[in-house]
A and B are shown apart, each in its own frame.
Chain A
Amino acid sequence: MLFLWAALPGICLLTALVRRTRPQNVLLLLISLLFYAWGDPDHLVLLLVMIAVNYLFGLALERAGTGAGSARPSGRGGRSDGESGKWREGSAAHPGAARAVLALAVLCNLGVLGVFKYADFVLGAADRILPGGFAGVGAGRLADRIAQGGTGILQPLGISFFTFQALTYVIDLYRGRVRAQKDPAKLALYLAFFPRILSGPIEPYSHAEAQLTARAVTRNGFAEGFRRFLYGLGKKAILSDLIAMSVDRIFAVPTQLNGLSAWLGSALYALQLYYDFSGYSDMAIGLGRMLGFTIPENFRYPYLSGSVTEFWRRWHITLGAFFRDYLYIPLGGSRRGKRRTICNLMVVFALTGLWHGAGWAFVLWGLWHGMFVSLERLGFRKFLDRHRVLGVIYTDLVWIVSMALFRTGSISEGARTLSCMFLPFLHRDAQPLIASYFSLQSLAAIVLGVSGCGVLQDSACQKQSRLSALRGKWIGSPAEAVYLALVFAVSVLLLAGNTYHAFIYARF
């Protein structure tokens, strides 16, 4: 509520007063840094250091001559090279030096991510692998710290998002797709822009570059952005948070979980996660639009996907695009035979899992998806293409099953939920009262959530359908505005009543 009723009107007023792009960049940067410090004051310095380091890497890369001379004029989109499957390497004056700077930049960004996000995970794994653990090799203090719960290093908010954005900057610069950013405020704003720093979308620098130099806050853009923001707010505050109440009740007492409640809980968590994350993305995109930016889309009704491969093109689109453009294709993509393709896919999905959380449960979660994508690549996709409805059911089931691991981030707890789902006869002692998981409000949110996660919108997008005509009349109509005002009112009522759950993806 502090953001809605104090920060947002203030930000809009200030940006309306400071209309020239350059001073507005500085203003938005200051706001973004304040926003970040508000959520995570301990790591503001780290963010500033990362901005400074990447700025210097950018200058060093340009000095090494990487593709600077042949870089296309910066523009939006900018992934045509990726679409063709071939990267145009930069025409570096000193290719060795450029490669070294790039390696250093990537190492530095991934190193920071590794230390702040994965230190405990890596050390814990090493402790288990080493004979006798760290104690066995004379590192008793380290072994003690691991035994006591880890290094105590706290994960900075949004680190996975701003680090990946920084990587797109240095890699694209090396590839000659963009020029080095000379204005530190612009680069800082790109990395720290407040609508997307906590949970994305992950915007490649090539997409953002032009907007940092020239953009306009227009009446229509502001109105469209606010409209999108209200949809996102409703998704989060009404649907996701109300569904979360049922999910929390279902999983509150693990010993009371049986087959039915485990399936129900995982399915509802899938719904909660979708509305939580896509709600956040809508708000980020909407806020960006209100301030003159175009932030890339992150969702396209993923639960309508006919295959797991398609799912990952519709869910967290910008993360999928990042892994495709900066990992899968450089690894050789699908160009080096089936075996290598499968291997590449498994690497990409293992890392996708690891990106979500530092734990084996997330790696398994990623590999689970990688396995199905690989199966589809080996021919299963043809069957799914012929049986679309079956494909949707199969895809959603694969996703729902994976939620057992994703929700807790723990293999043992996930295994317990999976055991309830697949071996329900082992959990007959548990007799949960299903009715007690729901209130009328959460039931209504579930019904609205299920009907709103794509089927209606998809048929409304079909040309010449009756819904399509309705959709045309609805979007931008005064009736829609009144509806969104009601959505806002209900959201405020719920937020004031403390039903708010923190954004799930902010912890990644």
Chain B
Amino acid sequence: MRNKTAKLYIALFVLLLVVPPLLWAVLKDPLRAALPDAADYENTALVQRPELHRQTLRSFPVDATKYYNANLPFRNQLLTLGGLTDYYVLHSTNTTSVLVGRDGWLFYRGNQANEEDPVADYKGTNLFSDRELAQIWMQMKSAQNLCEAMDRQFVVMAVPGKMRIYADEMPSSYGKPGDGRLYQVTTFLRDRGIPVVNPAETIMAYREEHPEEQLYRKYDTHWNRLGAYLAAQELDSALGHCDLPALDTVSREAAPQQIYDLARLMHLGQILIKDGPDGEQEPAGYADTEGLTREVSEDTTEYRYTNSHAGADPRSILLIGDSFAPIMTDYVASDFRKVTMEYYYVYTPDMLESLDPDVVVYEVNERYLMNLARFTLTDIMPVVQN
């Protein structure tokens, strides 16, 4: 190697390995203020600086490495730069759980640790076996029997995944959707007398009629408020009382801006913030919401609604669900006197006694349909997701 080149490599060593951490150590605060997206939106502050003493000798290296990585010089800028390159330049990501679709749509491709496989759900390549269906049937029938013994109605709600509703935004290499578990389990349970609400067809029909409106969030796993409204209509109709007017007849108003989960997974939570041409929208004036009150528990796992409106159905609803349920329950609540929404992993059997609902709804998202085989009203359900 020539002397000049050797000097160049030494300069590179200093520039690449010495300058960045040194610069960050000396000018951390001004750099944070000057550079874009230095917000600590990953809760990295939660990683404690480890202390070295006799008791922590063994754990210190791992803790110190975690602390350093959480406080890596230029961490947010590096992550954001990586996310921007992936999203805008490559239109693809190496984030394991996100898939970049057409027109910048993001899809959740699942976390294999949680038994979830949205791509297989979408393609219909992971249909339930007879044994799994029998297990699902046993759990659902037990829940239905328990409810009927106490003069309660039991309803299952199966929420379609975003890939299914926005199949046209999936990369073309993924092909068309298959029927999948969603339709398999819907038909299976309905044929055996368990009522199942599956709003997939309603949502897709509305999409076809109103292609200009967005029903699921572009940068998030979930439906938006318009999609949730359509699902609430479907559920309320199945329960025999729906005063919610047709979605295309109600007006819209701006809803609070969100940080979208898939954008966050790509480290673009502060960048991809405008979801849809008009931003986050919600239906307005669909019901007389005077007299409708909502209480949310501190940990946001429990939502309690009371509705004193005269036209409200006097029955009380207990909705046990996942992250799709909260915004849908806002609309369900306008049709019933009392609605309680509990995340399935905080539900305990004593709630059934204390709330004394007339209707129990178990809502489950397409990618967690396997939870049907574990669901029980008489015990605490094992946590598999979130």
The size class of the interface chain B forms with chain A is 35 or more
Contact of B12 with A481 in the complex, beta carbons under 8 Å: yes
Interface 0/1 of A211-228, CB less than 8 Å to B: 000000001101110110
Chain B residues lying within 8 Å of A220, measured Cβ to Cβ, are 1, 3, 6
Q: Give Cα A478 to B6, complex, Å.
A: 10
Interface 0/1 of B1-41, CB less than 8 Å to A: 11101111110110111101100000000000000000000
Chain A residues lying within 8 Å of B86, measured Cβ to Cβ, are 441
Q: Give Cα A507 to B119, complex, Å.
A: 32
Chain B residues lying within 8 Å of A499, measured Cβ to Cβ, are 94
**One of A1-9, A148-156, A306-314 contacting the partner:** A1-9
Q: Give Cα A2 to B3, complex, Å.
A: 30
Chain A residues lying within 8 Å of B171, measured Cβ to Cβ, are 435
Interface 0/1 of A163-202, CB less than 8 Å to B: 0000000000000000000000000000000000000000
Known: A2-B65, A2-B69. A488 touches B16 (CB 8 A): yes
Q: Is A146 on the interface with B (CB-CB < 8 A)?
A: no
The listed residue (A432, A436, A493) touching B174 by CB distance below 8 A is: A436
The listed residue (A2, A219, A494) touching B94 by CB distance below 8 A is: A494
Interface residues of A in 5-61 (CB under 8 A from B): 5-6, 8-9, 12, 37-39, 41-42
Q: Is A496 on the interface with B (CB-CB < 8 A)?
A: yes
The listed residue (B10, B21, B72, B96) touching A496 by CB distance below 8 A is: B72
Q: Is A433 on the interface with B (CB-CB < 8 A)?
A: yes
Contact of B17 with A9 in the complex, beta carbons under 8 Å: yes
Chain A residues lying within 8 Å of B12, measured Cβ to Cβ, are 226, 481, 484-485, 488
Chain A residues lying within 8 Å of B175, measured Cβ to Cβ, are 433
Contact of B73 with A5 in the complex, beta carbons under 8 Å: yes
Known: A8-B17, A9-B21, A436-B109. A41 touches B61 (CB 8 A): yes
Q: Give Cα A309 to B99, complex, Å.
A: 43
Contact of A497 with B174 in the complex, beta carbons under 8 Å: no
Q: Give Cα A392 to B85, complex, Å.
A: 38
Q: Give Cα A442 to B123, complex, Å.
A: 22
CB distance from A34 to the nearest CB of B (A): 9
CB distance from B203 to the nearest CB of A (A): 24
Contact of A497 with B79 in the complex, beta carbons under 8 Å: yes
Contact of B5 with A478 in the complex, beta carbons under 8 Å: yes
Contact of A440 with B91 in the complex, beta carbons under 8 Å: yes
CB distance from A488 to the nearest CB of B (A): 5
Q: Is A470 on the interface with B (CB-CB < 8 A)?
A: no
Q: Is A476 on the interface with B (CB-CB < 8 A)?
A: yes
Q: Is B348 on the interface with A (CB-CB < 8 A)?
A: no
CB distance from B169 to the nearest CB of A (A): 15
Contact of B5 with A6 in the complex, beta carbons under 8 Å: no
B81 (CB) vs chain A CBs: closest residue: A493
Contact of B96 with A224 in the complex, beta carbons under 8 Å: no
A484 (CB) vs chain B CBs: closest residue: B12
Contact of B94 with A245 in the complex, beta carbons under 8 Å: yes
Contact of B174 with A435 in the complex, beta carbons under 8 Å: yes
Mostly helix, strand, loop or mixed at chain A's interface?
helix
The size class of the interface chain A forms with chain B is 35 or more
Q: Is B322 on the interface with A (CB-CB < 8 A)?
A: no
Interface 0/1 of B65-77, CB less than 8 Å to A: 1001100110100
Q: Is A431 on the interface with B (CB-CB < 8 A)?
A: yes
Chain B residues lying within 8 Å of A433, measured Cβ to Cβ, are 119-120, 123, 125, 174-175
Contact of B117 with A253 in the complex, beta carbons under 8 Å: yes
CB distance from B73 to the nearest CB of A (A): 7
The listed residue (A4, A227, A248) touching B17 by CB distance below 8 A is: A4
Contact of A41 with B57 in the complex, beta carbons under 8 Å: yes
A34 (CB) vs chain B CBs: closest residue: B61
Q: Give Cα A431 to B175, complex, Å.
A: 13
Contact of B94 with A476 in the complex, beta carbons under 8 Å: no
Contact of B94 with A227 in the complex, beta carbons under 8 Å: no
Known: A245-B96, A440-B92. A223 touches B174 (CB 8 A): no
Q: Is B310 on the interface with A (CB-CB < 8 A)?
A: no
Q: Give Cα A219 to B79, complex, Å.
A: 34
Known: A436-B119, A440-B92. A478 touches B8 (CB 8 A): yes
Q: Give Cα A280 to B257, complex, Å.
A: 46
Q: Give Cα A244 to B28, complex, Å.
A: 34
Q: Is B386 on the interface with A (CB-CB < 8 A)?
A: no
The listed residue (A223, A436, A481, A493) touching B82 by CB distance below 8 A is: A493
A245 (CB) vs chain B CBs: closest residue: B94
Q: Is A242 on the interface with B (CB-CB < 8 A)?
A: yes
B64 (CB) vs chain A CBs: closest residue: A2
CB distance from B65 to the nearest CB of A (A): 5
By CB atoms of chain B within 10 A, which of A5, A256, A492, A499 has the most?
A5
Q: Is B354 on the interface with A (CB-CB < 8 A)?
A: no
Q: Is B112 on the interface with A (CB-CB < 8 A)?
A: yes
Contact of A496 with B112 in the complex, beta carbons under 8 Å: no
Contact of B1 with A224 in the complex, beta carbons under 8 Å: yes
Contact of A253 with B10 in the complex, beta carbons under 8 Å: no
B4 (CB) vs chain A CBs: closest residue: A478
Q: Is A465 on the interface with B (CB-CB < 8 A)?
A: no
Q: Is B93 on the interface with A (CB-CB < 8 A)?
A: yes
Contact of A223 with B92 in the complex, beta carbons under 8 Å: no
Contact of B1 with A485 in the complex, beta carbons under 8 Å: no
The listed residue (B10, B17, B85) touching A223 by CB distance below 8 A is: B10
Q: Give Cα A425 to B2, complex, Å.
A: 59
Chain A residues lying within 8 Å of B73, measured Cβ to Cβ, are 5
Chain B residues lying within 8 Å of A459, measured Cβ to Cβ, are none
Contact of B69 with A441 in the complex, beta carbons under 8 Å: no
Contact of A481 with B8 in the complex, beta carbons under 8 Å: yes
Q: Is B267 on the interface with A (CB-CB < 8 A)?
A: yes
Q: Is B173 on the interface with A (CB-CB < 8 A)?
A: yes
Q: Give Cα A493 to B79, complex, Å.
A: 7
Chain B residues lying within 8 Å of A4, measured Cβ to Cβ, are 17
Q: Is B346 on the interface with A (CB-CB < 8 A)?
A: no
B83 (CB) vs chain A CBs: closest residue: A497
Known: A5-B17, A42-B58, A226-B13. A497 touches B267 (CB 8 A): yes
CB distance from A4 to the nearest CB of B (A): 6
B61 (CB) vs chain A CBs: closest residue: A38
- Sampled A-B contacts (29; CB under 8 Å): A5-B72, A6-B68, A12-B13, A38-B65, A41-B60, A41-B61, A42-B58, A219-B6, A222-B6, A223-B1, A223-B8, A223-B10, A227-B9, A253-B120, A433-B175, A439-B92, A440-B92, A441-B86, A441-B90, A441-B92, A442-B94, A478-B8, A488-B16, A489-B16, A492-B78, A493-B85, A496-B78, A497-B79, A497-B82
Closest 4 CB pairs of A and B: A440-B92, A435-B173, A223-B9, A223-B6
* Interface residues in chain B, defined as those with a beta carbon under 8 Å from any beta carbon in chain A: 1-3, 5-10, 12-13, 15-18, 20-21, 57-58, 60-61, 64-65, 68-69, 72-73, 75, 78-79, 81-82, 85-86, 90-96, 99, 109, 112, 117, 119-120, 123, 125-126, 171, 173-175, 267
